Structure 1
Amino acid sequence: MNLRCLIVDDEPLAHDVILRYMEDIPFLEKAGQCYLATEAFAFLSHHAVDLIFLDIRMPKLSGLDFLRTLNQRPLVIITSAFEEHALESFELEVIDYLLKPFRFDRFLKAANRALEQHMLRKQPALPQVPAMQHDMELLYIKSDKKLVQMPLDDVYYLESLGNYVKVWAHDHFLLTQRTLGSFEEQLPGEVFIRIHKSFILNRKFVHYIEGNTIRLRNGKELPLGKTFKHVIKLFPG
């Protein structure tokens, strides 16, 4: 599986480095080169691209402003000489941030990460399993290229990590590429309660609630969000 790559950078030397590194990575395929972000608009309107190597500080339009204008974004790896844009870049869900000058091993690591994300995008979506109202209902979780069945009774809580979710069962978890909101729609609301923007909790594992903290029976403590304090009335006592 190859990644069709577009280089967007106003520095010819940067193009040379990326092209030289790409020669030693068989799954990277050059789709095109642009020296301004404004040129990339026209290119993307006529060519399909899987991955963009994107500089930030360019004339007329910065790389990040260009990225914000894209409705359907390819995977993006930032290549910049300035580290102060890293946080803003990751908020735009870029795959990696390469600080110039970068070595081949660092470039290869970013490329492998992009290939993994590309493969995840190409996997067919799993059908949603409707929640049922009995204790032995199974939650189907796609994790590490496997489809895992987990009884709802074993699920302590779910923790959001951006576009990923950790599904915790006692002291271990499965990581799956889904949003917490998609789980909230699927799980039975009388058992699984949203207690925070990043957490859904199985109410049967609650030990006690103190202030803004919920302590579970396994000793784990979870935050109770300010906008979710109304859920306290759902617990007995």
Structure 2
Amino acid sequence: MKIQCIVAEDEPPARELLVSYIERVDTLELKAVFSNALETFNYLQTSNPQLVFLDINMPRMNGMELIRALQVKPKIIITTAYRDYAVEGFELDVLDYLVKPVSFDRFLKSIARYNQYFLQEKITSAGDEAETAFSKAYMYFKVNKELVKIFLKDIFYIESIKDYIKIFTKEKAVVTYQRIGYMEEKLPESRFIRVHKSFIIAKDKISGYSGDIVRLEKIEIPIGRNYKQGFLKAIQ
């Protein structure tokens, strides 16, 4: 998908240069060109470009006034002949600051900065979604004649006791008829790790480790010889 962008620049040579740069980059799509900030402001009330190339010194309304007036801001790259606005621009969370005349390689660096920002946003968004899904995940375990609901986020560790397992949370411990191997298969690998033939632990509950011991707050869990390499790789 192309990055939709607009140009707001009152000087024709500078405007034409930015337009030519945008047309040379396959990942960019020019949606509109304006010669003043007020027209740009009106456009942004009904349209949502991802990237704005914005000049500072324009008639009727300058670029900084435009940025402050926007309730919802696209990513903005300032273009100006003056360096005086750099600090103020970054305080307003602009993506980059280009000093005229803008070279093509400096222009590309700004696009690369946008791409890095967009990638980080996707990673963060995916991480937030995964965190939300995990916080709601649970399993039911048969304890005596009752099915007990346990949220995965609450599990500290699981201990194998022959054909049973003991599941420890901060508030309680429950014993159920189940194999630890089954739990190893069902629990998300990104959240839990088997550190011993008899123990599975929650990664986010680890508070420290040394030698053949991993500590979950005040609880010490042995690290089996056959599991140590996998444990060290997982936490690093």
- Cα deviations by residue, 1:107-150 (Å, 9 ceiling, x for unpaired): 001012113323444554423455758499xxxxxxxxxxx769
SS at match of 2:24: coil
Q: Do 2:75 and 2:94's aligned partners in 1 also have CA atoms closer than 8 Å?
A: yes
- When the two chains are superposed, the root-mean-square deviation of aligned CA atoms in Å is 3.0
In structure 2, C-alpha distance between the alignment counterparts of 1:36 and 1:155, rounded to whole Å:
57
Q: Do 2:156 and 2:205's aligned partners in 1 also have CA atoms closer than 8 Å?
A: no
In structure 2, C-alpha distance between the alignment counterparts of 1:155 and 1:70, rounded to whole Å:
45
In structure 2, C-alpha distance between the alignment counterparts of 1:54 and 1:27, rounded to whole Å:
19
In structure 2, C-alpha distance between the alignment counterparts of 1:20 and 1:55, rounded to whole Å:
16
- Cα deviations by residue, 1:53-84 (Å, 9 ceiling, x for unpaired): 01111122111111111111111111111111
What does 1:15-26 correspond to in 2, within 5 Å? 15-26=15-26
What is the CA-CA distance between 1:9 and the residue it aligns to?
A: 1.3
Q: Do 1:51 and 1:76's aligned partners in 2 also have CA atoms closer than 8 Å?
A: yes
Q: Which residue of 2 is the match for residue 12 of structure 1?
A: 12
Q: Which residue of 2 is the match for residue 35 of structure 1?
A: 35
Q: Does 1:74 align with 2:61?
A: no
In structure 1, C-alpha distance between the alignment counterparts of 2:7 and 2:30, rounded to whole Å:
8
CA, structure 1 residues 155+102, in 2 after alignment: closer, same or farther (shift >3 Å)? farther
Q: Which residue of 2 is the match for residue 184 of structure 1?
A: none
Q: Do 1:9 and 1:35's aligned partners in 2 also have CA atoms closer than 8 Å?
A: yes
Q: Which residue of 2 is the match for residue 44 of structure 1?
A: 44
SS at match of 1:84: coil
In structure 2, C-alpha distance between the alignment counterparts of 1:100 and 1:4, rounded to whole Å:
22
Q: Do 1:53 and 1:78's aligned partners in 2 also have CA atoms closer than 8 Å?
A: yes
SS at match of 2:67: helix
Q: Do 2:48 and 2:74's aligned partners in 1 also have CA atoms closer than 8 Å?
A: no
Structure with greater Cα Rg:
2
TM-score (norm 2): 0.54
Q: Do 1:135 and 1:152's aligned partners in 2 also have CA atoms closer than 8 Å?
A: no
In structure 2, C-alpha distance between the alignment counterparts of 1:135 and 1:84, rounded to whole Å:
57
Q: Does 1:107 align with 2:107?
A: yes
In structure 1, C-alpha distance between the alignment counterparts of 2:27 and 2:2, rounded to whole Å:
4
What is the CA-CA distance between 1:11 and the residue it aligns to?
A: 0.9
Q: Does 1:86 align with 2:81?
A: no
Q: Which residue of 1 is the match for residue 222 of structure 2?
A: none
Structure 1 or 2: more helix by fraction: 2
In structure 2, C-alpha distance between the alignment counterparts of 1:70 and 1:111, rounded to whole Å:
22
Total equivalences in the alignment: 148
Letter in 1 for 2:44: L
Q: Do 1:38 and 1:61's aligned partners in 2 also have CA atoms closer than 8 Å?
A: yes
SS at match of 2:109: helix
In structure 2, C-alpha distance between the alignment counterparts of 1:25 and 1:31, rounded to whole Å:
14
SS at match of 1:93: coil
CA, structure 1 residues 154+66, in 2 after alignment: closer, same or farther (shift >3 Å)? farther
